[in-house]
Amino acid sequence: MNCILLPVENVSSGVAHITALTQISHVQTVLNAAVGDTLKIGQLGGNLGTAVIDSMTAECIQLINVKLDMCPPAKLDLTVVLALPRPKVLRRLIMDMTALGVRDIILVNSYRTQKSYWQSPMLERLDEFVLEGLQQGIDTIAPTITLEKRFKPFVEDKLASWIKGSAIAAHPYGAQSFSQFLRQQPSLGLPSLVCIGAEGGWIDYEIALLAAQHCDAVHIGPRILRTEAAVNAILGQWLL
């Protein structure tokens, strides 16, 4: 954790309390903090700042001199449509996309998404993974996360409303590279929406449906990457 994020109800009139056991453990065992030390904190949905440890027990850390005077970093002007991945990969991807500052995340079904993934208990823990990503990226504003279990109706009926400029679908067999795509339309800048498949990528039928909504298939080189590697490689362009 690069900062400790607190819910609104834990912050009041210059005093705050850390009550989440994972955060208390991090402060005590990872930061090795003691009474009198200053911590980087933030209020979920609000500002970032600092506070001083006033008292500390195994159940609660009381903070004083709370100063929340820094605005969180701006979100990326970006929506990521991600084919629901394997459950053990989902946590890392949600954390990474949140830390990178993605504004909207849409988890969608795909041909290569196994039906069992939609019954995974990991989907009940998305808020937990978002919090981890926010604390990693030193941010307080959570991305919106939408679940779409039917690929074709989503693409045909809803996808266009999410596209504010251009859109791409990451596809290792796309006819053009991401850099070629950007050079062809420099006035538009980076896309407003990126579609990324699960392991194995999109099938041709899905690419055709996406193309019908003006979502261009692009590749990022000759190597076939795991989903989490592809997400970070592509989204890193927005940080540059």
Decide: pTM greater than 0.75. Answer: yes
Name the phi and psi angles at 197, rounded to 5: -80, 175
Task: Summarize pLDDT for 19-65 with one digit per residue, the tens.
Answer: 999 999 999 999 999 999 999 999 999 999 999 999 999 999 999 99
Would you say residue 199 has pLDDT above 90? Answer: no
| 128 plus 53 within the same structural domain | no
Rounded Cα distance, 128 and 109, in Å: 22
Selection from 142, 144, 145, 143 nearest residue 7 by Cα: 142
Same domain, 60 and 86: no
Domains in the chain: how many in total? 2
In this structure, the number of other CB atoms found within 10 A of the CB of residue 33 comes to 16
Which residue among 46, 70, 94 closes a domain?
70
- Domain residue limits at 18: 4-70
Query: Do 36 and 88 fall into the same domain?
Result: no
Q: Are residues 86 and 187 in the same domain?
A: yes
pLDDT, tens digit (0-9, with 9 covering 90-100), for 100-150:
999 999 999 999 999 999 999 999 999 999 999 999 999 999 999 999 999
- Judge if 90 and 164 occupy the same domain: yes
